[in-house]
Structure 1
């Protein structure tokens, strides 16, 4: 039996496919009287109604009527502004915007949306892989983009055209017919226990704030934005925990406060007693510095604050402190701050800590994700299991 919701359309459960729904939506042009009808299928009434509403809104705005003339470049701009920017994290938006602007619009932007074909998109992806970078080799030829970059561009284009289908501009998403570049899985980089100790010692001998940042990164596995966004209110020195409920990132060189990366990223992380002791010392030192700075110290409670009490800029910290610190500690210069998070997880797994516990500390939604990222540690754990079993059942 059909059901009309808000006058938007008729939605009914299909008799030939129980659990599947179909909706029929009608739009009447107020100027010409022309009537247009479109059908949508979905797994629920809500899903079908949502698709119908997108189409009706597009008709109201005049977008669908221009389906035969709108170009891919024009639709990319609209998708970025109306669909991507309001819904995704700022860094994700910048990735989408940059990839489509730099690599798709110059090559396919003038093509009518309705005229897009899979071979044309595939040709662009192949070109990007072969010579899409602005960098040149010794012969002056442009080198290819990394497969992961092209894969990300393809993902953004697929999402963009998915919305074009939902908006009634395309019958199907031809970008999905292209083949994603094969990306070799990169093994995460982690410091050894000796290197981690050397890094902490070098930091302690050099700078109090850098020391606490390195110590917290290695002992909690927090992401860089989570660490630099940590307030003293979220540090429980009595019970020895830190609570992660916000993060900082940058856009256009400015600091932006955001929610943690995922729902599971909101978490409470227990701290080792020696780290708690160092935090107490650091808090006392920071209080002295705040009194010395007087009015120059901003009224914040940031843990890893700069000399004026402000949020430490992640990029400035990396270039101004972390890179020099690596040199002081005798650690390879290609190590990144995020590798301290990998070090935290790797060292715990190597010591036999349950992978579910490690996943919770990292803020992973599932332990399988942790196992996938740190699969390089698993052979060592298997060997340890064999050593435990050796002789256990012998007479």
Structure 2
């Protein structure tokens, strides 16, 4: 049984804007799940989830939550499933892959597209901008190129220095 726990900070409770194509994909996925549920009938797996209500409080058991990470028969994917997918990605693309790295990549993408740290902080669920800057804003090659292009547009000549 899965157990859902409270988030680490209040800042982690947030609304995340999605691009239209992802919204449509999730909506399509939901429709497919409803169709599978109808086709499987009583054989469709009903997942029981325990909600951790905090210290010294009893857990609440909830059934049939709408999750994305389920198989067509309703069976929830497990953390083992994620490890299998990671191994496939590593083998196929010869990279060390962890799903959490997608969070880092997204944060770097935000920084590379000049999204202000205050906006990235809210999207990532950080309590302060300092946390966002400390852990997620990596200088990328694209950022360096943007800087050089900006300097060139201001009349500065392009020079690289090994100071």
TM-score by length of 2: 0.71
- 1:255-286: CA deviations, max 9, x gaps? 21111221100000000111112112211211
Please give the residue correspondences for 1:120-139 in structure 2 after superposition, counting only pairs within 5 Å.
none
Please give the residue correspondences for 1:194-209 in structure 2 after superposition, counting only pairs within 5 Å.
none
Q: Select between 316-325 and 362-371 the one with higher mean Cα deviation.
A: 316-325
Runs of 4 or more consecutive aligned structure 1 residues displaced over 4 Å after TM superposition: none
**Stretches of structure 1 lacking an aligned partner (at least 5 in a row):** 1-253
Q: Counterpart in 1 of 2:136?
A: 374
Q: Does 1:296 align with 2:43?
A: yes
Q: Does 1:317 align with 2:81?
A: yes
Which among 361, 378, 382 is matched to residue 123 of structure 2?
A: 361
Aligned residue pairs: how many?
138
Which among 332, 342, 351 is matched to residue 113 of structure 2?
A: 351
Kindly name which structure, 1 or 2, has the bigger radius of gyration based on alpha carbons.
1
Shift of residue 358, structure 1, vs aligned partner: 1.6
Shift of residue 294, structure 1, vs aligned partner: 1.1
- 1:78-130: CA deviations, max 9, x gaps? xxxxxxxxxxxxxxxxxxxxxxxxxxxxxxxxxxxxxxxxxxxxxxxxxxxxx
Shift of residue 378, structure 1, vs aligned partner: 6.6
Query: Which whole-Å CA distance do the structure 2 matches of 1:276 and 1:310 have between them?
Result: 23
Please give the residue correspondences for 1:1-395 in structure 2 after superposition, counting only pairs within 5 Å.
254-297=1-44, 298=46, 299-313=64-78, 315-328=79-92, 330-332=93-95, 334-377=96-139, 381=143, 384-392=146-154
Asked if the contact 2:33/2:72 (under 8 Å) is kept, the reply is: no
RMSD of equivalent CA atoms: 2.5
Where 2:16 maps in the other structure, the secondary structure is: strand
Query: Which whole-Å CA distance do the structure 1 matches of 2:21 and 2:4 have between them?
Result: 30
Where 2:4 maps in the other structure, the secondary structure is: strand
